[in-house]
Chain A
């Protein structure tokens, strides 16, 4: 998929777009980089970013608001040992760059300003997982409005109990350029779109909520094909109607079957964050120093894969110019690897894995997930449900969170059912599930053959930085997870 041509084109485009308007040449970048570098500086980079985002929102049958956001700037980082100096500016102009460079380099207390001839070169290995075209321009504005109106009509058509429909359509187009102290120049042009639908249904005075959505690194035509947009509307209504019949959820520890796809948020919270390089280098993760140990049942193989074409969590290169890859985290139950950015990889004597990500130029890159999922097993999903005498079957979730030090994690079900004697029974109200990351996967006793990835709506927050991510898994049976309902 990777073609040298595309890589050169992307780089040229990024330079023309980010640097040329300010009259900056690659020679100027070398001047800035030399300002950053000193004797004690082990690593430095310049990160240029320009992005445009839009969103359109519908409520009460009308698209009443829309917003457009433009963001640009440059972040400059200097690293000496474990110390990082960081400054940024929203002005891509030489004086601002030099000021930021001076502030960032001050991290190295002593040392003469170095001067080094930088030979710019491309990083190599960059993928071509999505088209560089601007998704905001992929549909005329009136068609974006019309799409949202169709979504709302479909939701209302589904059932007379639908009282409110809220829908929003959003897109962004971002160009980034990274220059590292070793002369490597890398660029990426990243499209991203999403469509979310949320409905309120009402029956006999009881109101319930349902929501669905999707998206990816593509353009708005994605929603017009395969009936996707209307499919989200139908799915949101279906979930809301199911919840109208929901009874109180059980409380206590029991067998839990998780459905395929988005319930993979389990992996993101239970093990994903704990396997990020920074927490392991610092020894603050419950998984620190456990490489090669068994942390899951043999049925579990989990990867973080940034190379899936068009997925929300995918990148052609990460925000440090490292090509993304498919990293095996757990292989047949054994911990195989961590997710690394360049700083933590260097300090741990490991290779960077293309997981260095940042929310924007104004944030420092840190190890982050891309698309995290468990590979398919060999069990028929129906057989998995049938094997449970009494338990919970959870198929849709809201968010989750983890304490990486104690390993305790939660994720909240928004659609779940009781399992009684191997049969799916009554729907239960939403409840939070809580477990212990280092041992929850050792209790995975059955893995389905139905691997699915989520539809593309996930956003992960860490250290105040949000980045788009993906998750996925097949149907799983976990023998013992605490369910936070109200019925003893």
Chain B
């Protein structure tokens, strides 16, 4: 088997973007912006030693927003032929005839746009053949099965590589291109004993193939995570400290971002309304964005409107230093854009001195959460209630696995009660945090 076959070179994506802006002008739009993405990839899954799927990905998409004064409309398509693009522009223009005037509509202010596009070292293609991918995934899964004879089944191990080119252009003359790659190895296995089955997984991901962990390390970690869950049980309802493992802790930062983002604020649907300058966290907490981090999973030289990104604090010494705004929300709230069109970039909580073992010792007795399920977060009130699995902790060490419980509280109280941040930062994702220790939550069980 070979690598991905056939590569018909289309006109450059930059040309397509420029063409679409010109079409918008011809349709009478006073301003327009266009976002295009083309990508290709390969994903191979091996299960119980046999190839399960070989998927060849080739994706492309284009979305355009047109402005007629203060009215706007948008459309998107995967078809880059000229007549289809013109139809997409036409559809956006038609929509703009029926939408209401909104004085806050429009492109980002020209002064905010990135003047130079810094090179962030995000593009490291992997000439991974199907055979190579099968070999890596096979080694990964074998390593998992070798850990413990109670690993009896598998959902498979996968090797994936993805390469994309994203172009953003607008009628203020901005055009920026970001080429990037993303590679990963992952493994999910099942352990069984007389008490039943448990599943867990692990993965490694990076912009650079050489920075991935070895397949053996990923497989062994996946197996270790799975086996330790065997014998999980419910505990009695109680109020205790809760330690979120780094990969589960990420969601606590996502809820924060969502609550301080433009739409939640101008719709007045956030539990953190009007909290700029307020002390939300203990004084030792610092949270910032680091968009220009070389090789970072969430790095971006400019945001989805072409606005230049830079390192910015979000929470300084526990105080909310700013909101997360695009230029529309900024104009509406009479503030400045924070280059958050399209989201946050490498949101990072400054690590504390303790590693995971240190945090467990510090907690002493309580719940260590390794997995969350469900969506019980009310963004308007901050009320929080989610399904969880993890471990009961006694004397600073894991005592036994716990499952079929919920953890509940209010996010405002949880943020105030964030007593420690671990140094065990999970860098596999665009939100970067270590494990987080929350002073007290309600655990519901039997």
Query: Would you give the 0/1 interface string for B282-317, flagging 1 where the beta carbon is closer than 8 Å to chain A?
Result: 000000000000000000000000000000000000
Chain A residues whose C-beta falls within 8 Å of the C-beta of B76 in the assembled complex? 67-70
Query: Would you give the 0/1 interface string for B77-90, flagging 1 where the beta carbon is closer than 8 Å to chain A?
Result: 11100001001100
Say whether A434 contacts B406, CB under 8 Å: yes
Which residues of chain A from 82 to 141 have any CB-CB distance to chain B below 8 Å in the complex? Answer: 82-91, 95, 99-100, 102-104, 106-107, 109, 141
Say whether A362 contacts B59, CB under 8 Å: yes
Chain B residues whose C-beta falls within 8 Å of the C-beta of A99 in the assembled complex? 5-6
Query: Would you give the 0/1 interface string for B354-390, flagging 1 where the beta carbon is closer than 8 Å to chain A?
Result: 0000000000000000000111101111010111010
Q: How many A-B pairs with Cβ below 8 Å?
A: 267
Chain B residues whose C-beta falls within 8 Å of the C-beta of A402 in the assembled complex? 373
The CA of A166 and the CA of B444, in the complex, are separated in Å by: 34
The CA of A87 and the CA of B407, in the complex, are separated in Å by: 42
Say whether B444 contacts A410, CB under 8 Å: no
The CA of A435 and the CA of B374, in the complex, are separated in Å by: 12
Say whether B383 contacts A429, CB under 8 Å: yes
Q: Is A145 an interface residue (CB 8 A)?
A: yes
Which residues of chain B from 33 to 88 have any CB-CB distance to chain A below 8 Å in the complex? Answer: 47, 50-60, 72-79, 84, 87-88
Chain B residues whose C-beta falls within 8 Å of the C-beta of A163 in the assembled complex? 268
Q: Is A62 an interface residue (CB 8 A)?
A: yes
Q: Is B408 an interface residue (CB 8 A)?
A: yes
Select the stretch in B93-101, B114-122, B166-174 that faces chain A. Answer: B93-101
The CA of A192 and the CA of B190, in the complex, are separated in Å by: 38
Say whether A142 contacts B404, CB under 8 Å: no
Residue from the list B52, B404, B444 in contact with A252, Cβ < 8 A: B444
Q: Is A395 an interface residue (CB 8 A)?
A: no
Q: Is B92 an interface residue (CB 8 A)?
A: yes
Residue from the list A72, A109, A141 in contact with B78, Cβ < 8 A: A72
Say whether B199 contacts A364, CB under 8 Å: no
Chain B residues whose C-beta falls within 8 Å of the C-beta of A89 in the assembled complex? 58
The CA of A57 and the CA of B227, in the complex, are separated in Å by: 48
Residue from the list B8, B59, B96, B197 in contact with A406, Cβ < 8 A: B197
Say whether B155 contacts A164, CB under 8 Å: no
Say whether B5 contacts A164, CB under 8 Å: no
Task: Quote the shortest CB–CB distance from B101 to chain A (angstroms).
Answer: 8
Which residues of chain A from 51 to 91 have any CB-CB distance to chain B below 8 Å in the complex? Answer: 54, 56, 59, 62-73, 81-91
Chain B residues whose C-beta falls within 8 Å of the C-beta of A406 in the assembled complex? 196-199, 229, 232, 389, 403
Chain A residue with Cβ nearest B195: A406
Chain A residues whose C-beta falls within 8 Å of the C-beta of B380 in the assembled complex? 200, 207-209
Q: Is A286 an interface residue (CB 8 A)?
A: yes
Say whether A145 contacts B98, CB under 8 Å: yes
Say whether B98 contacts A87, CB under 8 Å: no
Query: Would you give the 0/1 interface string for B402-430, flagging 1 where the beta carbon is closer than 8 Å to chain A?
Result: 01111111100000000000000000000
Say whether A408 contacts B404, CB under 8 Å: yes
Say whether A66 contacts B269, CB under 8 Å: no
Say whether B84 contacts A70, CB under 8 Å: yes
Say whether B381 contacts A207, CB under 8 Å: yes
Chain B residues whose C-beta falls within 8 Å of the C-beta of A284 in the assembled complex? 153, 155, 190, 197, 199
The CA of A408 and the CA of B406, in the complex, are separated in Å by: 11
Chain A residues whose C-beta falls within 8 Å of the C-beta of B177 in the assembled complex? none
Q: Is B111 an interface residue (CB 8 A)?
A: no
Q: Is A231 an interface residue (CB 8 A)?
A: no
> Of residues B4, B87, B97, B408, which shows the largest number of chain A Cβ atoms within 10 Å of its Cβ?
B408
Say whether B1 contacts A109, CB under 8 Å: yes
Say whether A286 contacts B58, CB under 8 Å: no
Residue from the list A54, A107, A282, A410 in contact with B406, Cβ < 8 A: A410
Task: Quote the shortest CB–CB distance from A278 to chain B (angstroms).
Answer: 10
Q: Is B165 an interface residue (CB 8 A)?
A: no
Say whether A66 contacts B99, CB under 8 Å: yes
Q: Is A449 an interface residue (CB 8 A)?
A: no
Q: Is A387 an interface residue (CB 8 A)?
A: no
Given contacts A70-B88, A142-B98, A207-B268, contact A251 B444 (CB under 8 A): yes
The CA of A102 and the CA of B435, in the complex, are separated in Å by: 46
Say whether A486 contacts B56, CB under 8 Å: no
Say whether A432 contacts B98, CB under 8 Å: no
Say whether A484 contacts B404, CB under 8 Å: no
Task: Quote the shortest CB–CB distance from B267 to chain A (angstroms).
Answer: 5
Say whether A252 contacts B383, CB under 8 Å: no
Q: Is B148 an interface residue (CB 8 A)?
A: no
Q: Is A483 an interface residue (CB 8 A)?
A: yes
Chain B residues whose C-beta falls within 8 Å of the C-beta of A72 in the assembled complex? 78-79
The CA of A61 and the CA of B78, in the complex, are separated in Å by: 32
Given contacts A65-B99, A283-B153, A431-B385, contact A70 B406 (CB under 8 A): no
Say whether B386 contacts A70, CB under 8 Å: no
Query: Would you give the 0/1 interface string for A217-260, flagging 1 where the beta carbon is closer than 8 Å to chain B?
Result: 00000000000000000000000000000000101110000000
Q: Is B446 an interface residue (CB 8 A)?
A: yes
Task: Quote the shortest CB–CB distance from B297 to chain A (angstroms).
Answer: 18
Task: Quote the shortest CB–CB distance from B165 to chain A (angstroms).
Answer: 15
Say whether A286 contacts B374, CB under 8 Å: no
Q: Is A354 an interface residue (CB 8 A)?
A: no
The CA of A430 and the CA of B8, in the complex, are separated in Å by: 53
Say whether A63 contacts B98, CB under 8 Å: yes
The CA of A100 and the CA of B98, in the complex, are separated in Å by: 41
Interface contacts beyond A68-B74, A208-B380, A487-B442: sample of 13 additional A-B pairs, CB < 8 Å, sorted by A: A68-B95, A71-B77, A90-B78, A90-B79, A102-B6, A106-B54, A403-B199, A405-B190, A406-B199, A429-B378, A431-B376, A483-B444, A488-B237
Interface residues of A (CB under 8 A from B): 54, 56, 59, 62-73, 81-91, 95, 99-100, 102-104, 106-107, 109, 141-142, 144-145, 163-164, 166, 200, 202, 207-209, 249, 251-253, 282-284, 286, 362, 364, 398-403, 405-412, 429-436, 482-488
- List the 5 closest pairs (A to B, CB-CB), nearest first: A484-B406, A410-B374, A410-B387, A62-B100, A405-B199
Listed by A's residue number, 19 A-B pairs whose Cβ atoms lie within 8 Å are A62-B99, A65-B99, A66-B95, A67-B73, A68-B92, A70-B77, A90-B60, A209-B380, A253-B237, A286-B196, A362-B59, A401-B374, A406-B199, A406-B389, A431-B376, A431-B385, A432-B376, A432-B408, A482-B444
